[in-house]
Amino acid sequence: MSHKDTILAFLARATGPICDDCLSVRTGITPRQSINMECRRLADAGQVRRGSSRDCSCCRSPKVCNLKSGPIVAEVIEGPHAPMPAPQGRSWQWEGNVQSNLIAWLMHHGWQIRSSANTASRESGKDVIAELDDRVLWVSVKGFPDSTARTNAPTQARHWFSGAVFDVVSYRDESPTAELAIALPEGFKTYLNLSKRVKWLRRSLPFRIYWVSQSGDVREE
């Protein structure tokens, strides 16, 4: 799907105007300048209404926002914390979908998203960096693998969980003050069992676990 089609599909389901920053986060289109250029083209073509007089429905900031021309399908997305649909061909527990739903939840609770890695392209770096007042949050996000003829999902998931734990260990070396977390799809026994086995580590290296459900709800542990 092209950037144009992705943007139009998202705006068709939105209940309110959304700024370029939030649109980039919610659609996974990076860099932000790509959103800006595409939305300008869509506005010139009359397919998107674009203006600076509205507050963004996600971050609530007065920015230049985008709204699809024509009627808005309000029943599809109920608010900034509503679940993001997985891209075609991806399962709900795909890492990018877990990341998008976590970001929506954080934004709904007042966090400002400073950066998010492009998981589809396996971009390196912290998966989510967010700020709230003087607090900084770094999150490592993992999905749950699909079983294939060559991949045993629980075995692969254990490797991914280990990678997330190593991420927070290395994050602490980078900053003694950043709040640390990992985000995982909820409902998988492998991750639940592994989370219990690292409780001892969380006592000496505090980090939270965000459990993201198929419905888009987030539970903080």
Name 48's Cβ contacts closer than 8 Å, sequence gap at least 6: 7, 8, 11, 39, 42, 66, 67, 68, 69
Where do the structural domains in the chain lie, given as residue ranges?
3-68, 95-220
Structure tokens, 17 = 């105007």
Mean pLDDT for each 10-residue chunk of the chain (221 residues)? 81 77 82 85 85 68 76 34 54 85 84 75 78 93 85 91 96 94 96 95 95 90 91
Q: pLDDT at position 80, please?
A: 43
Q: pLDDT at position 122, please?
A: 64
Query: What dotted CATH number matches 95-220?
Result: 3.40.1350.10
> Which CATH number among 1.10.10.10, 1.10.3720.10, 3.90.1150.10, 1.20.1280.50 corresponds to the domain 3-68?
1.10.10.10
| Same topology between domain 3-68 and domain 95-220 | no
> What's the pTM?
0.66
Q: pLDDT at position 107, please?
A: 80
Using an 8 Å Cβ cutoff, are 199 and 212 in contact? no
